[in-house]
Structure 1
Amino acid sequence: MPAKTRKIFLSHSSADGPLVEAFETLLIKWLGIGSHEIFVSSLEGQGAPKGMNFVDAIKAEIVTTESVIALISPAYRESAFCMAELGAAWALSTNRFPVVVPPSGFGVIDATLLGTVGVMVDNEDALAQMLEDLSSSLELAPAAVGIRQRAMREFQKKWQDAKGDIGKSTNVPIADFKKVEKERDDAVNARNLAEDDLTKAEKYIKALKSLKAPEDVSKLEKEFDKSGWEGKFQTLTSEIQRLAPKLGGSYIQRQLILDHLGKQSRPDSVNYASEVEFAMERDIYDPESNTWNWSDDFVQIFDKKISEMEALLLEFPQIADWLKSKGKGADPDNFRFWDDNVLY
C-alpha cells in the first residue's frame, strides 16, 4: 500500500477560489501544519507538480493522503470532474470530512458520500468539532486555544466576504433545463394544433370562393362542418391536448386519465421530474398520499373534456367503427383509446 505523504487532500471547485484559500489557511492555523502537507490542486505549489499529468497527479494524491475534506458547493456539484474526484477520494480514504457550502444544504450529501456526517461551513461550532476530529484522526497536537479561535474568526470573516460569489452557477441545472424544454415542446404542439385549424379554415374559405352554385356551397359546408361527429371529435381532441401545459404536460394528462379509469399508479418522478414537480407545485398531485386533486380548476376542465369525449362516443357509435378501421383503440374505458387518439 502506498505510503501516506500528505496529511490532507482538499477537494474543491476552482470556481470557489477565495473560499478555498480561506479554508486552507484555517486548516494550517488550526492544525499547526505547513501548507506543503495539504494538497490543493488550484493553489500554486500545492497542486500537481509542473510537467505531470493533472489527472494522474490527482489519483496519486488521493491514494497517498491521510484525510480528505470536500468543500461541496453548487459549483462543485455541477462539475463532473469534482464528483468523480469525490467518488474516488471517498472510496480510497478512510478519513472523510464533507463540508457543505451554502446555498447548498445537507441534501447534497447523498449516496456518493456513503452516509458520512457533514458540517455546514458557516456553523462555527460544528466546523470546530470537525477540525477537532480531523486533528485527532491525524494524531496532531492542535494549536493553542487562542490561535484556533482567531483562526476561526478570520475564516468566518473571509467567508462573509466570499459567500456572495458562491452559488452563481455557470450551468443550468438539468431539472430546470428539462422543465423549460418540456414547456417549449408543449407550446410547439399547441401552436401546431392551432396552425392545423387555421389551415383547414383557409382551405375552406378558398374553396368557398371558387363556388357559385348553391348546391356546391351546401356540399362544401357539409364537408367542413364541425358540427358532425368527426368535427366534434377533432375539436375535443384539440381542446384536451391544449390543456397539457396547464397541467404539467402530456405525461400528467396520462396519469390523470389512468386515475379517472381507476388504474392509479405512482408517477415516475425520475424520468418525468419536471412534469411531476410542476404538478406538485400546483397542488395537482400529492406525493405523500399519491392522489390527484380533481378540484383544481384546470383538472376540472380536463375532467369535463374527458366526460364530453366519453359522451360523444356514446352518441355516435360510428366513431368507434372509424377508429377500429384505422387500427386504433376505440373504447374510452380502455387507456389505449386515449393513448392512440387523444394524447400526444
Structure 2
Amino acid sequence: MSRSVFVSHAVKDRELAAQVVALLEEGMGVPEDEIFCTSLKGHDIPAGENFVSYIKSQMQGPKVVILLLTPAYFESKFCISELGAAWVKSHAIFPILVPPLDYADIKDVLLGTQVVKIDDDISYNQLRELLQKEITFTPKSQTKWDVKRRSFLKDIKPILADMPGPSMVSASALEAKDRQLEEARVELDEYEETVQSLKKRLAAVEALKDKAAVAEVSKQFDDTGLTEQLDERTNEIAEYRSTLRGTEMLKYALSAFYGKPYKINRFEDREVFDEAARFGFINGDDEPVWSQRHMKSLRAKLKELGSFISENEGDLGKQVDEDVPLEPENQDFWEYHYNI
C-alpha cells in the first residue's frame, strides 16, 4: 500500500532529505508511517522487499510527491523515473529547487509548474496547506511550525554550502549560458543609457530652486510604474515577518500601528511573544517598543507607504486591478500584500 507522502530524492542528497522529513514530522505533524523516503530508517524499503518493485508500488497512489531537485537528482535514472511516474499519474507534486540549480535549469523538465527554492521561508506554508488538504492528520500548532521552519532553514545552510554542482554540462545548458551572456551585454548597454538619463536628471534637479519644480522634473524622468513602487514598498514590509521572528509578531505590530484590536494568545503564541520580548520588540506589558531599531524602521516604512498611497490614490486606483486592496490599515490589505 502506498504511503501518503513520497519524498523523491537522490541517494547523494540523503542528508537534505532527512531535514525535509523532519520538517514534515516535527513542524507539520505528518505521521511517520505516512512518509516514504528511501534514505531514512523507518521510512525506507522493508527488509526482504525487492528494491525496484517496492518503489514502483509506492509510486502508485501517494497523495503528495515532494521532489528534491538537485544536480544529483537529474543525474539519477531512478529519480528521473520517479519524476516521470508522478507526471504520468498526475500526482500532486511539490518541487523544491536546490542551488546551484536555478529555474532556467529545470524549465524544460517542469514547464508550467510552480517550483519553490529550498531557502524560501514563506513557500513552505504552501506545502503545509497542500498536505493538510490532501492528508488527514493532526497538525502542529502555529508556534511549533514557525519554530521548526526557522530551525530547518538554519540547519540546511551548511548542507547547501557543500552542495556540488552537476558533473557535466549539457549542450542545451551551454547554449542557454551563451544566450544569457548576450542578454547581459544588451542589458549592460541599456544600463548605460539609464546612467546617462540619470545624469541629465541630476543636472536638471540641481538647477531648480523650489520643490514643485523638482517634483515635476522627477515625474518626467521616472519610468517606474506606481504599481511597481507599491509592490516594492509592501515587499519591504512583508520581509519583517522574518525580521520580527514570525507572522504573528508582524500582525501584532501592524495592529498596534493602525490602532486595530489584537489580543496575544499566550497559549498558542507564547514562544513567539516571549522571543519578541527578549529582542525588545515589546515590553513587559505587551506594548510595542517603537524605539527598538527594527520596530522603528518598520514604523517609518509604514508611514512612507501611507503617504505614497495617499498622494497617488487616484492614479493607483486606475492602474491596479479592482480586487487589489489599497487601504493599508485593513486586514484584507495585510493578507493580500503581506501574506499574513
TM-score by length of 2: 0.49
Q: Tell me which structure has the larger Cα radius of gyration.
A: 1
